[in-house]
Structure 1
Amino acid sequence: MFRRRREPVPFAFVAEADRYRSNVAPPPRERASRAQLAGRSLLGLTVVAGLVGSLLLGLPALEQNTSGARTVHQSEAANGH
């Protein structure tokens, strides 16, 4: 009935792409200098210190008043001064 044709596919290299290995190696990565390492660590410490500082300064604003008693603030004008 139907005959399969065994013709070569024009892009047969796509099927072999997983087996392809290049003989060109990428150049080795340069090692970071001491100044670059120090700069990266200083930047990281600055970011962490900023986050910790903002957390410490923001915690009092996030606390809920659990005393239940309301304090009434009167202005000096209301006192007649």
Structure 2
Amino acid sequence: MYRHLLALRHVTRRTISSSARRQVENKVPEKQRLFQEDNGMPVHLKGGVSDALLYRLTMVLTVLGSGYVVYELVNAAMPKKND
């Protein structure tokens, strides 16, 4: 039994270590240049269109959420009269 476990361990180790690794390009220096560039844009918008859309969506949700909270507070502060 022990011999079979050792053989299994050997096979799995060989399979994992001999598998080809994907070569991934390092994009960090490119991103550092982009975000450290002094072009007058705020850092949260330097990522492009996706950052601008995400920023606008966040602002819309914030304004709508704040409006809803104020509406609910007004409703809670002025309860309806029961006739």
TM-score, scaled relative to structure 2: 0.46
Structure with greater helix share of residues: 2
Larger Rg: 1
Name the structure, 1 or 2, with higher relative contact order (CA <8 Å, separation 6+): 2
TM-score, scaled relative to structure 1: 0.47
